[in-house]
């Protein structure tokens, strides 16, 4: 990448703005109740500069359409099947093309970061480094030296698809001794719990993340087109990582990533540390009770979902619903009304649920308690 592109990049980072589009495809999450912005990121993508099928400008276009805040360009360093056509002597070139495309399209609110995938057999596995300054420096025969070179550049390093069947035939994610040593030496900060090319998620990887204080990631690992692979723009969505940052700057994004303030989003599943998943769910769901009708103690309550994913809730509270069983769905950007059998009229309501489309540990869903004040009865109903 030529150095003259740098000022343009810095200018764009300063304005990691929320995508100002009403297009349903572009991901928009409200801020969390504790004041974090939710930045959507895909930290694992390929183009023709490794084994992908598209030019990097297509990745930029897709990321813009999906409303991503951050896109990482992470070509395989060692696996270069298009080398006869694209000799690729500079492993930063894919990133450079993506930046040129971003600048020419004048997209704002999208940060593109450089990265690489260190691609080895087990016990090394596939490891991504993002926030890399010079991917060429990671071209080493010893994979450990590649990771050390990334670390020297201040990169964020994570294990990719630890349950990938060609390397883990039983589908169970495990860390190798080599990877555990990287963690012990402070060289590895994250792990993918969901990966779009594998088309899967891993409860085992989530537990590994929790046990080792690793940042939880969901990424597309896209090789073809996002639209064809994930039905994007229709009902589908690429897997991504929701990063809970203090603000929309690159520095805040980076800090949140290193501090593990992330949730992996795969189809309608949210996976991560309990506090992070809870923050996202609380940003999405709220209760809007109606008044009591003045004749009964059954309270109408609307459960509102302002987020772009469907929720499935199981009622774990002591009140049951007049119009539904204990398992209810709340569609994306939709609402579901339940009629709650209260034993008496009250000034507030609390509903407790297990959020079934979440995981906060190995086969463990998030419990949540939602509360709201009940509006006073309508004067006309007071009889």
- Piece in contact with Zn ion (CB under 5 A), picked from 217-225, 237-245, 261-269, 368-376: 217-225
User: With binding defined as CB under 5 A, does residue 204 bind Zn ion?
Assistant: no
45 lines the binding site for Zn ion (CB under 5 A): no
Least distance between Zn ion and beta carbon 121 (Å):
11
| 276 contacts Zn ion (rule: CB under 5 A) | no
Residues 350 to 369 in contact with Zn ion, rule: CB under 5 A: none
In angstroms, rounded to a whole number, what is the distance separating the alpha carbons of residues 72 and 40?
12
CA-CA distance, 314 to 334, in Å (whole number)?
17
Q: Is 360 exposed, middle or buried (0-12, 13-18, 19+ CB in 10 A)?
A: buried
Tell whether residue 221 is a contact of Zn ion (CB under 5 A): yes
Residue 91 touches Zn ion, criterion: CB under 5 A: no
Q: Which stretch binds Zn ion (CB under 5 A): 110-118, 173-181, 307-315, 342-350?
A: 110-118
Taking a C-beta distance cutoff of 8 angstroms, is the pair 279, 244 a contact?
yes
Say if residue 262 is exposed, middle or buried (CB neighbours under 10 Å; 0-12, 13-18, 19+): buried
Q: Name the residue with the smallest CB distance to Zn ion.
A: 126
Q: What would you report as the CA-atom Rg of the chain, rounded to the nearest whole angstrom?
A: 23
Q: What share of the chain is helix, strand, coil (3-state, %, to 5)?
A: 25, 30, 45
Helix (H) or strand (E) holding 11: helix 6-13
Residue 89 CA: distances (Å) to CA of 3, 84, 139: 17, 12, 11
Residues 152-181 contacting Zn ion, CB under 5 A: 160
Select the span of 5-13, 53-61, 113-121, 209-217 touching Zn ion (CB under 5 A): 113-121
Class of residue 339 by CB neighbours under 10 A (exposed 0-12, middle 13-18, buried 19+): middle
Scanning the structure block, which residue is given the tokens 């990877």? 179
- The yes or no reply on residue 269 touching Zn ion (CB under 5 A) is no
The count of chain residues that interact with Zn ion, using the rule CB under 5 A, is 4
**Residue choice 36, 126, 237, 273 for contact with Zn ion (CB under 5 A):** 126
Q: How far is the CB of 71 from Zn ion (least distance, A)?
A: 14
Judge contact between 340 and 365, C-beta under 8 A.
no
Tell me whether residue 240 or residue 307 sits nearer to Zn ion (CB atom): 240
User: CA angle, corner 241, sides to 366 and 140, nearest 5?
Assistant: 130
Beta carbon nearer to Zn ion, 46 or 151: 46
Nearer to Zn ion, 238 or 248 (CB): 238
Name which of residues 234 to 253 contact Zn ion (CB under 5 A): none
> Please, which residue, 119 or 315, has the CB nearer to Zn ion?
119
CB of 221 to Zn ion, least distance (A): 4
Q: Which two tokens stand for residue 214?
A: 């690793």
Shortest distance in whole angstroms from residue 219 CB to Zn ion: 8
Identity of the residue, 77 or 280, whose beta carbon is nearer to Zn ion in the bound complex:
77
Least distance (Å) between residue 274 CB and Zn ion: 28
Closer Cβ to Zn ion, 42 or 221, answer by number: 221
Q: Is 47 in the site for Zn ion (CB under 5 A)?
A: no
User: CA-to-CA distance for 240 and 245, rounded, in angstroms?
Assistant: 15
Instruction: List strand residue ranges (DSSP E) for 255-347, in order.
Output: 262-266, 269-271, 285-289, 298-305, 311-315, 327-330, 335-341
Between 78 and 203, CB nearer to Zn ion: 78
Give the C-alpha separation, 316 to 302, whole Å. Answer: 17
**Stretch touching Zn ion by CB under 5 A, among 123-131, 132-140, 198-206, 224-232:** 123-131
Shorter beta-carbon distance to Zn ion: residue 117 or 163: 117
Which range of residues in 185-193, 219-227, 300-308, 356-364 is near Zn ion by CB under 5 A? 219-227
Residue closer to Zn ion by CB (options 43, 111) is 43
- Nearest to Zn ion of 147, 366 (CB atom): 147
Shortest distance in whole angstroms from residue 59 CB to Zn ion? 13
Segment holding 215, helix H or strand E:
strand 215-219
Q: Which residues bind Zn ion (CB under 5 A)?
A: 117, 126, 160, 221
């Amino acid at each position: 990448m030529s150095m003259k592109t740098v000022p343009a990049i810095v200018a764009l980072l300063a304005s990691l703005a929320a995508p100002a589009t009403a297009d349903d495809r572009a991901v928009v999450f409200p801020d969390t109740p504790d004041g974090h912005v939710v930045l959507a990121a895909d930290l694992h993508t390929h183009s023709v500069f490794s084994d992908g099928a598209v030019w990097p400008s297509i990745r930029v276009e897709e990321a813009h359409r999906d409303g991503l805040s951050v896109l990482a360009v992470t070509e395989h360093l060692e696996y270069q099947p298009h080398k006869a056509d694209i000799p690729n002597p500079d492993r930063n070139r894919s990133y450079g093309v993506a930046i040129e495309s971003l600048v020419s399209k004048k997209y704002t609110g999208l940060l593109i970061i450089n990265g690489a995938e260190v691609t080895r057999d087990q016990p090394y596995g596939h490891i991504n480094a993002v926030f890399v300054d010079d991917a060429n420096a990671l071209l080493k025969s010893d994979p450990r030296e590649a990771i050390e070179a990334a670390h020297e550049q201040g990169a964020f390093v994570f294990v990719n698809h630890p349950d990938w069947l060609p390397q883990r035939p039983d589908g169970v994610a495990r860390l190798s001794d080599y990877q555990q040593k990287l963690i012990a030496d402070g060289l590895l900060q994250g792990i993918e719990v969901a990966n779009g090319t594998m088309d899967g998620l891993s409860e085992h990887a989530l537990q590994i993340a929790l046990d080792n204080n690793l940042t939880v990631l969901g990424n597309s690992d896209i090789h073809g087109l996002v639209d064809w692979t994930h039905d994007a723009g229709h009902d589908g969505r690429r897997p991504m990582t929701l990063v809970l940052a203090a603000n929309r700057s690159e520095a805040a994004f980076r800090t949140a990533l290193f501090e593990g303030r992330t949730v992996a989003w795969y189809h309608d599943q949210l996976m991560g540390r309990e506090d992070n998943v809870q923050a996202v769910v609380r940003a999405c769901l709220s209760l809007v009770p109606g008044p009591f009708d003045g004749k009964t103690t059954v309270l109408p309550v609307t459960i509102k979902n302002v987020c772009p994913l469907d929720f499935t809730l199981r009622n774990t509270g002591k009140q049951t619903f007049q119009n539904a069983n204990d398992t209810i769905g709340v569609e994306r950007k939709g609402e579901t009304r339940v009629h709650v059998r209260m034993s008496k009229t009250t000034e507030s309501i609390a509903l407790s649920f297990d959020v079934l489309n979440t995981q906060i540990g190995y086969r463990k869903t998030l419990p949540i308690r939602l509360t709201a004040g009940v509006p006073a009865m309508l004067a006309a109903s007071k009889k």
